[in-house]
Amino acid sequence: MELKYRALEGMNDVLPEQSPLWQYVEARWREHCRQYGYGEIRTPILETAELFERSVGETSDIVSKEMYVFQRSEERYALKPEGTAPVVRAYLEHGLYGAGGVQKLYYITPFFRGERPQKGRYRQAHQFGAEIFGAASPLADAELLCMVMDFFLSLGLPADALELRLNTIGCPGCRPAYREAVRNFGREHFDRLCKNCQARLERNPLRILDCKECFEITAAAPPIDPYLCDACRTHFEGLQSLLKTLDVAYVRDHRLVRGLDYYTRTTFEVVAAQGLGAQNALCGGGRYDGLVEELGGPPTPALGVGIGVERTLLVLQALNAPLPAPPRRDAFVVAFGDAARPVALQIAQQLRRAAIATDLDLEGRSPKAQMRLANRSGARFAILLGESELAQNAATVKDLQTHEQYTVSQTELAAWIQTRL
């Protein structure tokens, strides 16, 4: 068969064979967030393009090169290229700040970026996200980092397979002087910078620091530390001291400036030592203390993280982390003769209502073919219905593991199976 339609490049189907793994990590994320006091938020896939231009930033690669934008009548829309800006929009729209105190919101969302697809980099991908609003203290940063590292550990990823990289990028008060220092550094080494960095040196000089092509040159770039204002320095020192107290290992990475414009102070990523190749960041996040106000809300300190779901799955598989058992099929009902087919469906329904995962043939196959299906299905029990069983309102139950057979009345079948699973 020649395929007429294929999924778009960089967009993947998740097939029944893989979906138990997705369900497993999603369930772990939900449970993990519950333990840390988060409530779930779900936001639409489409937002106005302007929301991301104002937050992620018009000069960022994500907005300027990768965002899927389209126009419908007067409005320009974007497929969400990340999860934070929509959550901030919803936080404001529904007045969640009115409750006062700290609000913790988590989500699982698809997002869209028109990047060149490669291993671990797709055009539709998924993120586990967590955002904290209203917490200025480094305690919140420390809690978020503990939560992220514990999530990976809870999935069975060994601590030595992960590296937490940490930095601060200051605030609008102290960052301009640092930005100028990096720009000057870039000008001094202009000829050696890649074309992309040469072009963005004037507009967005900090981005040269996380360019992989210019990695060797920017190793000598000035760190931010002497430029930090007292409040930013105190915050960063407070966070580092908390991480030491909590035994969270990290590496200071002076060049971790992140590719989204909304960050202030803390930035971080967790990279995987193996299993991902070039796209090795499992997650990224940080503080964005100015964003709520920038989008029209009251001054609200905030921070969060986005964890790449596909990359998490790739690392789990590459490191042979313990994965959940495939879903169980409990029973398969086999009809001997056409008269038994409706009863087979009735019995399948009865068992399913009793939470017994049950299947049966829907194509009118012969008993022999049905038995083959039953054996292949992995079900523990085959429920055989022939003329004599129908006459007695009973079923013959064959244990496909031990090959033993039992006669069980149809009314007791569900209870009988339940006690044996």
The residue among 131 and 361 lying less far from ligand HAM, judged by its C-beta, is 131
Residues 240, 166: Cα–Cα separation, whole Å: 9
By CB under 6 A, is residue 290 in contact with ligand HAM? no
Q: Least distance from C-beta 256 to ligand HAM, angstroms?
A: 11
Contact characters 241-260, ligand HAM, x per CB under 6 A: -------------------x
Q: Least distance from C-beta 245 to ligand HAM, angstroms?
A: 24
15 exposure class (CB count in 10 Å sphere: 0-12, 13-18, 19+): exposed
- Element of type H or E holding 270: strand 264-272
Nearest alpha carbon to residue 334 among 374, 380, 283: 374
By CB under 6 A, is residue 113 in contact with ligand HAM? yes
Nearest alpha carbon to residue 334 among 392, 395, 391: 395
User: Which residue has its beta carbon closest to ligand HAM?
Assistant: 308
Kindly state the tokens that stand for 359: 């299947």
User: 80 to 109, contacts with ligand HAM by CB under 6 A?
Assistant: 82-84
User: 173 to 232, contacts with ligand HAM by CB under 6 A?
Assistant: none
Supply the DSSP string of 134-150, one letter for each residue. Answer: S--SHHHHHHHHHHHHH
Contact characters 122-161, ligand HAM, x per CB under 6 A: x--x-x-x-x------------------------------
Q: Least distance from C-beta 309 to ligand HAM, angstroms?
A: 8
The residue among 207 and 398 lying less far from ligand HAM, judged by its C-beta, is 207
- 305-317: buried (b, 16+ CB within 10 Å) or exposed (e) per residue? bbbbbbbbbbbbe
Nearest alpha carbon to residue 380 among 349, 401, 405: 401
Q: Least distance from C-beta 82 to ligand HAM, angstroms?
A: 4
By CB under 6 A, is residue 266 in contact with ligand HAM? no
CA distances from 420 to 25, 298, 354, 417 (A): 29, 59, 13, 5
Stretch binding ligand HAM (CB under 6 A), from 162-170, 206-214, 278-286, 316-324: 278-286
By CB under 6 A, is residue 308 in contact with ligand HAM? yes
Binding site for ligand HAM (CB under 6 A): 82-84, 113, 115, 120-122, 125, 127, 129, 131, 260, 281-286, 304-306, 308, 310-311
